[in-house]
Amino acid sequence: MTVRHRKVSAHLKLVENLDSEITALAESLATPTTGRKGPKDSDILPPDDAFSFNDLGNADRFLQFAGDDLLYCVERKKWLVWQGTHWQFDEGDFVFELAAEFTRSMFLGIVSKEQMQNATRANNAAGFNAILNLAARRKSVSIARFDADPYVVNCKNGTLDLRTGDFRRICVSADSGRSSQDRDIGKESG
């Protein structure tokens, strides 16, 4: 038996165990407690802040996993990654690798058959591509949004407003995309 076969066999045993636990839970929920058959809506519906186990929920979880460091440029059809001082187009498949790390991590802490099915789908081509496509829609930005103000210049340690001389420390924003990495403005306005 190969290593892959052992892994598949272990996953199948896990799914079987989960299936029997879910069946027992479903039977206990189906027992009427108030004269009404089945569980109450509040027992079935997820909380408002819960993610669904579908492609859109996976995309939302991926964006939470990635943080605020990703944008998707609609015109160039490329991801932008925040480098700490500026946005840079992802030329080296960083976002792809980040998404692969995310989808592999979905197998950790699985407690239900639904989670197992969701993680399995997310790790196949259709599910993986759906995560990236939906995440891109959620984080899409036009290139016109960058350098929207020609009088704001992005420097290594912040942004400088050329009209007022005000300096602001760096923040993750596409609105001040002009980069001036060879200058380091030392004076910060208060």
pLDDT for residue 128: 96
Q: What is the pLDDT of residues 139-162, one digit of tens each?
A: 999 988 887 888 888 777 788 889
**Angle at which helices 125-138 and 55-66 cross, to 10°:** 60
SS3 at position 123:
coil
The average pLDDT across 38-56 equals 64
pLDDT at residue 77 is higher than 70: yes
pLDDT for residue 168: 83
pLDDT for residue 150: 85
Q: What distance in Å separates the CA atoms of residue 6 and residue 165, rounded to the nearest whole number? A: 65
Q: What is the pLDDT of residues 107-129, one digit of tens each?
A: 998 899 999 999 999 999 999 99
Burial class of residue 82 in the structure, from the number of CB atoms within 10 Å of its CB (0-12 exposed, 13-18 middle, 19+ buried): middle
Task: Find where tokens 């932008």 sit.
Answer: 80
* DSSP secondary structure code for residue 169 in this structure: E
pLDDT for residue 182: 36
pLDDT at residue 175 is higher than 70: no
Burial class of residue 99 in the structure, from the number of CB atoms within 10 Å of its CB (0-12 exposed, 13-18 middle, 19+ buried): buried
pTM for the full model?
Answer: 0.60
As given in the structure block, the two tokens for residue 53 are 């186990």
Residue type, 108: L
pLDDT for residue 187: 42
pLDDT at residue 134 is higher than 70: yes
The average pLDDT across 164-185 equals 56
